[in-house]
Structure 1
Amino acid sequence: MNKNISLSKAAIIAGIGLLIMTLTVPFAEFKIIPDLVNRDSATETATNITNNIFLFNIAIFLIYITIVADIVVAWALYVFLKPVNKSLSILTAWFRLLYTGVYLMAVTNLIKVFTLIKGSSYFLENSPEQIAEFVLFYIKSYKYEWFFGLVLFGIYLILLGFLVLKAKYIPKIMGWLLIIAGLGYVIGHLKVFLYPEINTSFSMFTAMGELVFMLWLLIKGSRIKEIQID
């Protein structure tokens, strides 16, 4: 199947997948969920989600779109970089798929929140305060599991960066930007587990490397000529 996909088409598919994620992730992860969750008040969080359950479900739906896009991007970039080093390209793709699997498992916590909110009548032995505590617990579990996955995603970006550095048809600056972005993800999200007191806000800026690569894929990558693969 891969033989029927040109490098230019693979670049376009990967670029579109990344573009979709730049639309879904900010709304779900940085707007909807933060607006509904108060990490210091379980009762307020449960009330907000109960009163805005449709919006909460939209966030879950957007995350699932992101996960599907992640899978497509992993495949498309494998095809796009296979001429460089097939084995390393496969390993890189698997790291993105591994991250995607962790992300998918993390989302099950949000499904549990939905179940608690919609099925509160099944938990009559629990007080509303206890149910609210469960809701906040699952929300926090979702975030921590996702952050763990983002460490794997950082490793993926580092591997991707090395592949790009070896590719004669991609500017080397793209490889360095991806490696820097990957290091930012690893350092920034290990903070939660290993060094919570250290300020790693710089990782917000290093992540821009992936966006630059996305633009390159859509603008320049779509014009790449075919390369003979052994």
Structure 2
Amino acid sequence: MSTHMIAQTSMHAEDRPVIATPMFYARLAGVLYLIITFAAIVAHMYVPSTLIVPNDAAATVANITASEGLFRMGGLGAELIVLLSEVILSIILYMLLKPVNNTLSLIATVSRLIMTTIHGINLLNYAFVLFIINGAAFGIEQSHALVSLFLDAHSFGFTVGIAFLIIHVFALGYLIYQSGYFPRVLGILFLIAGFGYLFDTVGLLFIESYTTTPDLIAMLISVAEIAFPVWLLVKGLNLQKWQQRMR
């Protein structure tokens, strides 16, 4: 090979874009899962349990007024972190799992993005609460009633969004199980979690007396949601089998 040809080959190699590997995407997905988990704990558990008093609108309004920064940063801010991370995670999961079944992976991605869209719109309920507390022209009783209304609407809207996540979880479980480059047990855990989400969502939306997720259901969901990101961070995926799937 001539010196000129070697130089050309070297230049072409340098001009090629650097493409992130599937292992990088797997690890990034694990990081995003953890970000979503921690931010969701703040937005969906800590803030409501700290500021919202069930069946006591006056106390709730007083708490939010006294801790408006927590409501803004912990409620709105943490939820925005969750939603932005969800968008990126949805696309990365599609890239990792499309070698198994492109159509099903696309369905999983779209359903998770629909959930994210609903939850984004649902944040307006929190904004309305702030508008009412910070000077909307309502009497005290009207303000308390409206705050309760928008907080209840936020809770209901969140559950509606989770209904679309059910599709994602079942599809994700099947794709992981069939992949060959992730342990099958992780797919089984997600399929079990899918039934947990289904049971809980039906109860919250359609059964009046069902107001709290049973501990067993929460545990079944948590096992899958924790085990998969931990595996992604520690092991990533079996790169050889992923490449075989791409052929």
Indicate how the Cα distance of structure 1 residues 221 and 190 shifts in structure 2: closer, same or farther if over 3 A, else same: same
**Aligned counterpart in structure 2 of residue 9 of structure 1, from 24, 31, 40:** 24
In the alignment, does 2:121 pair up with 1:105? Answer: yes
Contact 1:151 1:189 (8 Å CA) reproduced? yes
Aligned equivalents of 1:194 and 1:128: distance in 2? 32
Indicate how the Cα distance of structure 1 residues 64 and 12 shifts in structure 2: closer, same or farther if over 3 A, else same: same
Deviation at 1:223, TM superposition (A): 6.3
- The one-character-per-residue Cα deviations of 1:3-24 (angstroms, maximum 9, x if unpaired) are 9332111111111110101211
Indicate how the Cα distance of structure 1 residues 195 and 166 shifts in structure 2: closer, same or farther if over 3 A, else same: same
Contact 2:30 2:232 (8 Å CA) reproduced? yes
- The one-character-per-residue Cα deviations of 1:93-135 (angstroms, maximum 9, x if unpaired) are 00110110111111110011111112x2x41xx2112111111
* Residue of structure 1 in register with 2:94 after alignment: 78
* Residue of structure 2 in register with 1:221 after alignment: 236
Structure 2 letter corresponding to 1:66:
V
TM-score, normalised with respect to structure 2: 0.86
Structure 2 portions without partners, runs of 5+: 1-17
Contact 2:182 2:238 (8 Å CA) reproduced? no
Aligned equivalents of 2:209 and 2:146: distance in 1? 27
Structure 2 letter corresponding to 1:51:
A
* Residue of structure 1 in register with 2:203 after alignment: 191
Q: Percent identity?
A: 25
Deviation at 1:34, TM superposition (A): 2.0
- The one-character-per-residue Cα deviations of 1:148-181 (angstroms, maximum 9, x if unpaired) are 1112112211110011111011111000101111
**Aligned counterpart in structure 1 of residue 44 of structure 2, from 29, 50, 53:** 29
Kindly tell me the number of residue pairs found equivalent between the two proteins.
224
| 1:80-95 pair list within 5 angstroms | 80-95=96-111
Aligned equivalents of 2:103 and 2:21: distance in 1? 19
Aligned equivalents of 2:225 and 2:96: distance in 1? 16
| 1:1-230 pair list within 5 angstroms | 4-59=19-74, 60-118=76-134, 120=135, 122-123=136-137, 126-197=138-209, 200-201=213-214, 202-208=216-222, 209-221=224-236, 224-225=239-240, 227-228=243-244, 229-230=246-247
Structure 2 letter corresponding to 1:82:
K
Contact 1:12 1:221 (8 Å CA) reproduced? yes
Aligned equivalents of 2:120 and 2:87: distance in 1? 11
Let me know the Cα RMSD of the aligned residues. 1.7
TM-score, normalised with respect to structure 1: 0.92
Deviation at 1:195, TM superposition (A): 2.5
Indicate how the Cα distance of structure 1 residues 200 and 112 shifts in structure 2: closer, same or farther if over 3 A, else same: closer
Contact 1:155 1:183 (8 Å CA) reproduced? no
* Residue of structure 1 in register with 2:5 after alignment: none
Deviation at 1:222, TM superposition (A): 5.6
Contact 1:39 1:136 (8 Å CA) reproduced? no
Contact 1:148 1:190 (8 Å CA) reproduced? no
Higher relative contact order (CA 8 A, sep 6+): 1
Structure 1 portions without partners, runs of 5+: none
Aligned equivalents of 1:5 and 1:103: distance in 2? 30
Aligned equivalents of 1:162 and 1:223: distance in 2? 17
